[in-house]
Homo-oligomer: A and B are copies of this chain.
Amino acid sequence: MQIDELRQLIARQRPGWSLEQPFYTSPEVFEIERRTWLGDQWYVLGHVSEIPDPGSFMVRELLGESLIVVRGTDGEIRGFYNVCRHRGSRICERDGKASSLVCPYHAWSYRLDGSLRSAPAMAPEIDLKALNLRSAPVAEIGGVILGSLTADPQTLADARAEAQPMLEYHGIPNARIAARRSYPTAANWKLVMENFAECYHCYPSHPEYCSVMTHVEVFARKATPEAEGRWYAEQDRWFREDADQHSPAGTSQPDYSGRGRRVISRAPIGGGRKTESRNGEPVAPLMGQQSRFDGGFGAFGMNPFVALIMPNDHAILFQFLPTAAEHTDVIISWLVDGRAADSEVDVERMVWLWDVTTVQDKGIVELNAAGVRSRAYGPGPYSLLEPGSNGLVRSYLEGLSAAH
């Protein structure tokens, strides 16, 4: 696959239809993406509670690279490639805490800011100052740690300014991780993200999700102007009468179109539910600045790979990590208030909705991946209920074109 061939593929794409096969299956396309557009994106790497103290570090895989994310003596969070500058060994195998990062092979040691501290028995002509760890872009927004291979950290400034109040309102910076589960999915990342970006599949695939989230009926099944009108009226009423009036974005409407890349919003779950549990009853103490259960949920999204959903008493932090042409790691962390005792958190009831839903999504996305490998596969038309998937695909194609 040469870049010219890729341009031809991009040019051939029919607007409103799904992608040509190679975008979903080709290792060569993935390799180009990895070097360009995917490398420029931000991904969720974790939560600040995972590296609470100076010297705390975590080791995370991103696009085939191993990164060390470490909190320095100055409290700052920094990212480094997990590669010793001597002969290339990985330095850290797992999360930990240390006053310096010491390579296990020949004991070269690095300060928490990545600078080389000591390298024994080196010839005097070697310039040790040129052998600091190579850094990788890492940043924090409201307690969420983001990382990238080649993004410009400035691209985060607007998102941070806009999202910070909502994340603080929901208590994300002071949260702790109560559960984490992995859903390794044998499918190209675009199939995973197209799935996450639409609810057209919710009725066939997600009975539990449909039973909890009121908006599904409006946006996944009926989608008539009348149904939407009733929903927006009910939502307005909720914002006026039921919603916590201290919410920083209490009057904004959520973006179900999927067209907007950045989502910072609140909406009601509906049906009288206080949270996203099976019976609607709380599963943990209220988080952040919330003073009562108003039955709403906040949402934060920045690009296809960063997603956070925040009911009153917990938060669901998604990681979508492309790892190969036909493999994507999906990891969910459930956050609760940092001061909540284990006895106050009902983990099984908390994880229920998104665990069952993500297991289902893994299944249907893998069937999708199996199908698009066929010689009989060709792009098909998105329905009126898949604007998110279509928008995601369009912005990807634009980005990929521009990346070259």
Residues of A within 8 A of B (CB): 16, 18, 24, 64-66, 81-91, 93, 103-107, 119-123, 126, 131, 134, 136, 149, 194, 200-201, 203-205, 223, 364, 367-368, 370-377, 380-385
Check A104–B380 contact: CB distance below 8 A.
Answer: no
In contact, A105 and B18 (Cβ under 8 angstroms):
no
| B89→A367 contact, CB < 8 A | yes
**Smallest beta-carbon distance A50→chain B, Å:** 22
Are B88 and A18 touching (Cβ within 8 A)? yes
Q: Lowest 4 CB-CB distances: which A-B pairs, in order?
A: A81-B376, A88-B372, A107-B204, A88-B371
With both chains docked as a complex, state the minimum distance between the C-beta of A200 and any C-beta of chain B, in angstroms: 5
A122 and B383 contact, CB distance less than 8 A: yes
CB within 8 A of A367: which of B104, B119, B200? B104
Q: Are A374 and B204 in contact (CB under 8 A)?
A: no
Bound form: Cα–Cα A372–B83 in Å: 7
How distant is the Cα of A34 from the Cα of B121 in the complex, in angstroms? 35
CB distance from A290 to the nearest CB of B (A): 36
- State whether A83 and B126 are in contact (beta carbons under 8 Å apart), knowing that A106-B201, A203-B107, A364-B104 are contacts in the complex: no
A-B contact pairs, 8 of them (CB 8 A): A66-B374, A88-B371, A88-B374, A88-B377, A93-B367, A104-B364, A106-B383, A107-B203
Nearest CB in chain B: distance from A203 CB, A: 7
Q: A376–B88 Cα gap in the complex (Å)?
A: 9
In the assembled complex, the Cα of A194 lies from the Cα of B106 at a distance in Å of 13
A368 touches B134 (CB 8 A): no
A67 to B183, alpha carbons, bound, how many Å?
A: 28
From B65, B88, B204, A368 is in contact (CB under 8 Å) with: B88
Q: Which residues of B contact A18 (CB under 8 A)?
A: 86-88
Contact of A370 among B90, B120, B123, B364 (CB under 8 A): B90
Contact between A377 and B121, CB atoms less than 8 A apart: no
A126 touches B88 (CB 8 A): no
> Beyond A87-B18, A385-B121, is A105–B380 a contact (Cβ under 8 Å)?
no
**Which residue, A123, A201, A380, has most C-beta atoms of chain B within 10 A?**
A380
Contact A87 B194, beta carbon cutoff 8 Å: yes
A385 neighbours in B (Cβ, 8 Å): 120-121
A201 / chain B contacts, CB cutoff of 8 Å: 105-106
Is A367 in contact with B194, judged by CB distance below 8 angstroms? no
Are A368 and B89 closer than 8 Å at their CB atoms?
yes
Question: Smallest Cβ distance from A285 to chain B, in angstroms?
Answer: 38
Nearest CB in chain B: distance from A14 CB, A = 11
A203 to B172, CA, bound (A): 44
- Tell me the nearest residue of chain B to A363, going by C-beta: B104
- Complex CA gap A375/B188 in Å reads 22
Q: Which residue of B lies closest to A80 (CB)?
A: B376
Knowing A105-B364, A204-B106, A367-B105, the reply to whether A131 touches B81 (Cβ < 8 A) is no
| B-chain residues with CB within 8 Å of residue A200 when the two chains form the complex | 106, 120-121
Q: Is B121 a contact partner of A384 (Cβ separation < 8 A)? A: yes
Given known contacts A200-B121, A203-B107, is B383 in contact with A83 (CB within 8 Å)? Answer: no
CA distance A348 to B28 in the complex (A): 50
Nearest CB of B to A61, in Å: 10
Residue of B nearest to A122 (CB): B383
Asked whether, in the complex, the Cβ of A83 is within 8 Å of the Cβ of B364, the reply is no
Taking A81-B374, A105-B368 as given, write out 6 further A-B residue pairs in contact, using a Cβ cutoff of 8 Å, ordered by the A residue number.
A16-B123, A87-B372, A88-B374, A90-B368, A105-B205, A123-B383
In the assembly, what is the distance between CA of A74 and CA of B102, in Å?
A: 58
* CA gap between A66 and B377 in the complex, in Å: 11
Which of B24, B81, B90, B375 contacts A65, CB < 8 Å?
A: B375
CB distance from A137 to the nearest CB of B (A): 13
Report the minimum CB–CB distance from A194 to chain B (whole Å).
7
B370 near A126 (CB under 8 angstroms)?
no
A371 touches B205 (CB 8 A): no
